[in-house]
Amino acid sequence: MIKSDPIIQLHNIYTAYEGANRPTLTDISLSVEKGEYVIIGGPNGAGKTTLLETINGMLTITHGTATVCGYDVRKDGNRVRCNVGYLIQNFVFDPLTPFSVEEVVIMGRYGMIGTFRKPKEEDHIAARSAMSLLGIEDLKDTPIGQLSGGQQQKVLLALNLARNPEVLLLDEPFSNLDMFARDMINSLLIRLVNEGMTILIVSHAFDDLPDRDVRVVVMNKGKIMMNRVSAPGSVEQMIRNCGPGNIHA
Ligand SMILES: Nc1ncnc2c1ncn2[C@@H]1O[C@H](COP(=O)(O)OP(=O)(O)OP(=O)(O)O)[C@@H](O)[C@H]1O
């Protein structure tokens, strides 16, 4: 069998925020195969969100090579973002946002629908199917700003799933969720990864990981301190072992 290229390949990457006089990420190299479940851990300010936004082509890479879904992130950021879903951390809609839940979920299809075109039947079907995966069909006509934080988070996950991404980046997806929603979304993520989606998740919650090996990437001070495939049971301890008291970077 011919081995395909990794779906994410970062080599010697430096990423800088606009106006910053030095890069936030330094010398990042990371390979992720299609269908991997990757947990990104590390202390506050370590660079976890910055890593997700680098993979999604949202930040300036000042040095190194980055390929995601076969596209060069530095040259083809738009194409990368068409194939990657990104759930950002703690996003809250303004209470007066004039869109219903279904309208927000269908925004996930905009890259495919095209500018100034109306959603087709297939876009509505994809949006409804994503809402059904998250159990939010009954909210479809509710204005998004009238939902709770946890409900809005489910809508944003549905928006990302409506476009059926090859890679899903999740930044603290469980932070606003009750235990039932966490269980439901954990099972959904495990199903998606078993079907071949590649998932990278920044999380401090390690219950209910997939019943298979996961890749654990631990960051600190803008660098990757550890990158290892491990059994799910040892993830939390591995991240603790690389905690601020135990690393001297
Ligand atoms: N927009 C920005 N402009 C300049 N620097 C930023 C910006 N956003 C983040 N940083 C800096 O980049 C570093 C890494 O931040 P990042 O948000 O990636 O950390 P994190 O590991 O995701 O932290 P947390 O666990 O607290 O969410 C921090 O020092 C932070 O101050």
Read off the tokens for 11.
């080599």
Cα(163) to ligand 1 centroid in Å equals 28
Q: Which amino acid is at 128?
A: R
Helices (H), 114-231: 121-134, 149-161, 179-194
Pocket test for ligand 1, best of 24, 52, 90, 242 (most atoms within 8 A of CB): 24
Residue 157 covered by a domain: yes
| Residue owning the nearest CA to atom 1 of ligand 1 | 17
Provide the ipTM.
Answer: 0.97
> Nearest Cα to 85, choosing from 117, 130, 31, 116?
130
> Nearest Cα to 105, choosing from 144, 62, 69?
144
Cα(31) to ligand 1 centroid in Å equals 22
Residue 249 covered by a domain: no
| Residue owning the nearest CA to atom 7 of ligand 1 | 17
Ligand 1 environment, Cβ below 6 A? 17, 20, 24, 42, 44-50
> Residue 247 has what pLDDT?
53
**Number of domains the chain contains:** 1
| Residue owning the nearest CA to atom 2 of ligand 1 | 17
Pocket test for ligand 1, best of 39, 40, 48, 223 (most atoms within 8 A of CB): 48
Cα(49) to ligand 1 centroid in Å equals 7
> Residue 208 has what pLDDT?
63
> Residue 249 has what pLDDT?
44
Cα(51) to ligand 1 centroid in Å equals 10
> Residue 244 has what pLDDT?
67
Pick out the chain residues at pLDDT < 70.
Answer: 1-2, 115-116, 206-208, 243-249
Residue 165 covered by a domain: yes
State the closest ligand 1 atom to the C-alpha of 53, by its place in the atom list counted from 1. Answer: 18
Residue 22 covered by a domain: yes
Domain housing 75: 8-241
Cα(22) to ligand 1 centroid in Å equals 13
Cα(52) to ligand 1 centroid in Å equals 11
Residue 248 covered by a domain: no
Element (H, E) at 11: strand 8-16
Residue 2 covered by a domain: no
Residue 34 covered by a domain: yes
> Nearest Cα to 69, choosing from 54, 87, 84, 59?
84
Distance between CA 238 and CA 231 in Å, rounded?
A: 11
CATH of the domain at 143: 3.40.50.300
> Residue 207 has what pLDDT?
66
Cα(54) to ligand 1 centroid in Å equals 12
State the closest ligand 1 atom to the C-alpha of 204, by its place in the atom list counted from 1. Answer: 25
Kindly report, residue by residue over 42-52, the tens digit of the pLDDT: 999 999 999 99
> Residue 156 has what pLDDT?
96
| Residue owning the nearest CA to atom 6 of ligand 1 | 17
Residue 247 covered by a domain: no
Q: What is the pTM of this model?
A: 0.92
| Residue owning the nearest CA to atom 17 of ligand 1 | 49
